[in-house]
Amino acid sequence: MTMSAKPMTDKKIQPASQYKRIMLKMSGEVLMGENQYGLDPATVKRVADDIKAVVDLGVEVCVVVGAGNIYRGVAGAAEGMDRTTADYMGMLGIVINALALQNALEHIGVHTRVQSAIRMDSICEPYIRRKAFRHMQKGRVVIFAAGTGNPYFTTDTAAALRASEMNCDALFKGTKVDGVYTADPHKDKTATRFDRISYMDVLTKDLKVMDATAISLARENNIPIIIFSVREKGNLAQVVQAKGKYTIVTN
């Protein structure tokens, strides 16, 4: 049954204790802070602090990052390039972000492992599902790098895929806004935020939460997607505890 896309106010959302394991998806742009591209060390540190706060709640965490912050820097060079080549460049950008995040997390005492979908054994582990499970059971944050390892797939899809493989209880997507709105809240003052919305409504209304492949994967595997703002310090831990503002996408 398709749920109405009408904004709802019910807040019967799972308490934190029910999230045993979560996937965090962040765009690369988050890591550039106020810069135009690249990595802002203070922002990377702040994101690491936010992840640590969730680890400290006893929740197992795995992470997928994008590469928009690196890719922007090479966008000029990438113009006119084959899609596949450009996508592989993006995957390499993700590895840079993954290593930066790993470094920041380990500096604050969080144990991590980076696993790459494209083998680069001198730099990080290859993606091995059972090993990733073992790492998370030991309290390590696993950062999945290089997307799915295939061109034509977004990092959102990589996040939904890994969340499915890792039996995550939820996929948290950190964005610049605190949820899914009826219209762009920066352009339309009357836009309202959905507390809850169905996968089907996201797809049929083309609400641009994630691409259709990612939404379909999450839907098939019954993984709720929680859209929240990653800009405020400490917000991730709040949202993991069902506090604050966010939109949850479910069946």
Is 4 one of the binding residues for ligand GTP (CB under 6 A)?
no
Instruction: Tell me how far apart the alpha carbons of residues 5 and 84 are, in angstroms, rounded to a whole number.
Output: 36
| Given 113, 162, 196, 219, the residue binding ligand GTP (CB under 6 A) | 113
CB neighbourhood size of 80 (10 A): 6
Q: Can you say whether the dihedral through the CA atoms of 65, 70, 56, 194 is positive or negative?
A: negative
Give the residue with the Cβ less far from ligand GTP, 113 or 196. Answer: 113
Encoded one letter per residue, x for contact with ligand GTP by CB under 6 A and - for no contact, window 51-90 reads ----------------------------------------
| Order of strands, sheet of 196-198, starting from the edge strand that comes earlier in the sequence | 125-126, 112-116, 141-145, 60-65, 21-26, 170-175, 225-229, 247-250, 196-198
Site residues (CB under 6 A) for ligand GTP, limited to 114-133: 121-126
Minimum Å distance from CB 180 to ligand GTP?
36
Give the residue with the Cβ less far from ligand GTP, 105 or 230. Answer: 105
Site residues (CB under 6 A) for ligand GTP, limited to 188-227: none
Q: Which residues contact 76 (CB under 8 A, 6 or more apart)?
A: none
Angle, nearest 10°, between helix axes 83-107 and 68-78?
150
Minimum Å distance from CB 123 to ligand GTP?
6
Minimum Å distance from CB 250 to ligand GTP?
34
Q: What angle do CA 73, 154, 23 make, to 5 degrees?
A: 105
Positions that interact with ligand GTP (CB under 6 A): 113, 121-126, 134, 138
